[in-house]
A and B are shown apart, each in its own frame.
Chain A
Amino acid sequence: MAQFLFEADLHGLLKLDTPIPNAPPARWQRKAKESGPGPSPVGVSPMKPANRSHSSSKTPSKTPGKSGSKIQNTPTKAGGDRYIPNRSTMQMEMANFLLTKENDPAEESPTKKEQQKAWAVNLNGFDVEEAKILRLSGKPQNAPEGYQNNLKVLYSQKTTPGSSRKNSRYIPSMPDRILDAPEIRNDYYLNLVDWSSQNFLAVALDNSVYLWNHTSGEIIQLLQMEHPDVYVSSVSWIKEGNYLAVGTSSAEVQLWDIQQQKRLRNMTSHCARVGTLSWNSYILSSGARTGHIHHHDVRVAEHHVATLAGHTQEVCGLKWSLDGRYLASGGNDNLVNVWPCTQGGGGDFAPVQTFTQHQGAVKAVAWCPWQMNVLATGGGTSDRQIRIWNVCSGACLSTVDAHSQVCSILWSTNYKEFISGHGFAQNQLVIWKYPTMTKVAELQGHTARILNLTMSPDGTTVASAAADETLRLWRCFEMDPIKKKEKEKASSAKSSIIHQSIR
């Protein structure tokens, strides 16, 4: 029984309601001893009479507090309490042990053992007990000394100290404006903001789409989904800025007229949510969670004119090139596909390029406006790389580690740079110089990961929507007025030459 005592001791130490052994006897105990064994019955412990004596010898001089403390002084191990006065017939140690310790499996009956073994064999396909575990000795060196597991460094990036890089221009570190975006869905795979050529910023907040007029500052609620469970998963302006395409979680692609604030079309062809949209004049391309991309000709009744099947998981990035020759798509399957605008010989669309180098979902997809056939892509959390490709040759021109999930990339012609939006840990926007791929600036301010980026029609301002329910407008590509004048002069000079030659 010795081991039970030890166990019981251990458990007793951890419990508050068991008696304290070896403690100096309480006042009433001493009193009881003094008064002798008079009122004590058959019970063994001195505690019992204590309880009795408490009830019988309560004197008026005793304060309530004192009597209270008497009750709290619990009996010794085999003793009773006010509920069960006599516990001498109970085996406290044994009971304690059995209640608190798990049963020793060796006590199981042989049939139970057989049953368990049969279950194990069924579940594991083999008898795990019977398996031998082997280890190959002579393991190679661990990573060299001084190697720090860089994942920790990666995910807890500290802000880089002010670099000595000379910026050729001033980029304000604070946003121009901060807009409230309540209820914006914190879903990496959606594309919830777009800026039109008419200077309207469309923002999808859960099941509604709001338009913010940048010139006047006015806000209009354009639409709200009829069904409460349906949310808007993507928005995209047509080039002219008078129609807005809206993709929903109910697999619909809707077309809205802004001037009349009316829905023109509701195109259904997908069977899962439409997370991304891209226009190529009158063709609207939509990417869905199934991995399919549909081309819709919005002018005709039979809108669904083509299906591109190149992804096995959600399509989150979709962009037509500026000349309309190629469509780039990025998916959750880590692939980037480049599609031609016309079908191949067999009538099927097949990608002219497929890039598998990204190790994470590719949502950031952007075409270079001043160099033909150059595409920038950015990978998600598992990848964190920004890659520049030549889609004709299929070569990866450069790669840079952004150290953070890339959600969006936008090119800027004003300074031949591009800007990328990031998530954990700094939630920053980074401006990179092209083609040197050096960091020009980092814009911080968001308190949660950035979800989308979009650019103003004049190319000077970038709007970032983040999970912190704000939209920040950064005036980072402001043209120097002198330089601007030069540019305008140059473009006007060109046109005048043309006029001369025509004459």
Chain B
Amino acid sequence: AAQQLGREHQGITLRGSAELVAEFFSYGINSILYQRGIYPSETFTRVQKYGLTLLVTTDPELANYLNNVTEQMKEWLYKCIVQRLVVVISSIDSSEVLERWQFDIECDRTAKDDSGPREKSQKAIQDEIRSVIRQITATVTFLPLLESACAFDLLIYTDKDLEVPEKWEESGPQFISNSEEVRLRSFTTTIHKVNTMVAYKKDSVP
């Protein structure tokens, strides 16, 4: 808590920015899993964050898994070596990729050299994050129904020369063939900028 307060007064540091973005991903992924019905809605609980009521999973295994990803993201964001996070939703039976949530990260590498924190209020960043999360929630109004049971996958695009840590493996991009794309709002902490986009399979029947 003290660290957070410090952040508010001192402006945004590289470490602070990495934490904010990693936190956003954690809540964002939880929201996607809830809204798209990947896991039963009873397994989610409400928490207050960013001035919104958000839903996070209570399933211990899933929470643990997401935690691992968040912690790793924090580190990589701090080193500015991660470029993209993708949530891939595919059908369990046909293994076909139905939806692809892509979060592009632009990192201002000069922040690594600067020692001084950047000027941007916590509140402004929270407002921007709030808009993006609300948009993610609202996408249910136009995304095609996920008819079958689906599973999700998390892909992270990093620099080529990164040493692959334990528990992580290399993978393909898992693009959707014949997709429709919608770009959502973006937010920036002045050090990291996150652009959100969702791609879904175009209905074959018009």
Contacts and interface: CB of A to CB of B under 8 A. Distances in A.
A143 B38 contact: yes
* Tier of interface size on chain B: 35 or more
Interface stretch (A59-67, A148-156, A259-267, A370-378): A148-156
A328 to B, nearest CB: 18
Interface string A121-152: 00011101011111111111111100111111
A470 to B, nearest CB: 24
A378 to B, nearest CB: 16
Interface string B37-59: 11111000010100111010001
Given A141-B61, A150-B37, A382-B137, A133 B147 contact: no
B92 interface: yes
A330 interface: no
A149 B168 contact: no
B115 interface: no
A422 B48 CA distance: 28
Contacts of A132: 157-160, 162, 164, 170
Contacts, number: 123
B145 to A, nearest CB: 5
A150 B41 contact: yes
Interface string A310-341: 00000000000000000000000110000000
Interface stretch (A71-79, A230-238, A355-363, A486-494): A355-363
Given A135-B168, A137-B169, A360-B137, A125 B104 contact: yes
B168 A131 contact: no
Interface stretch (B10-18, B64-72, B116-124, B196-204): B64-72
Contacts of A140: 59, 61-62, 64-65
A369 to B, nearest CB: 28
A96 B116 CA distance: 63
A120 B93 CA distance: 35
A158 to B, nearest CB: 15
Interface range for A = 35 or more
Given A131-B159, A140-B62, A357-B53, A334 B171 contact: no
Contacts of B147: 149, 152
B158 A142 contact: no
Given A137-B169, A139-B65, A148-B149, A124 B140 contact: no
Contact of B170 (A128, A134, A149): A134
Contacts of B51: 356
A136 B172 contact: no
B175 to A, nearest CB: 11
Given A143-B39, A152-B147, A130 B159 contact: yes
Interface of A: 124-126, 128, 130-144, 147-152, 155, 333-334, 356-360, 381-382
21 contacts: A126-B83, A126-B159, A131-B157, A132-B157, A132-B162, A132-B170, A133-B155, A134-B155, A135-B153, A136-B156, A138-B65, A138-B167, A139-B65, A142-B151, A149-B147, A151-B146, A152-B145, A333-B134, A356-B53, A359-B53, A381-B140
Closest 9 CB pairs of A and B: A135-B171, A140-B61, A151-B37, A131-B157, A149-B37, A356-B53, A357-B53, A130-B160, A142-B151
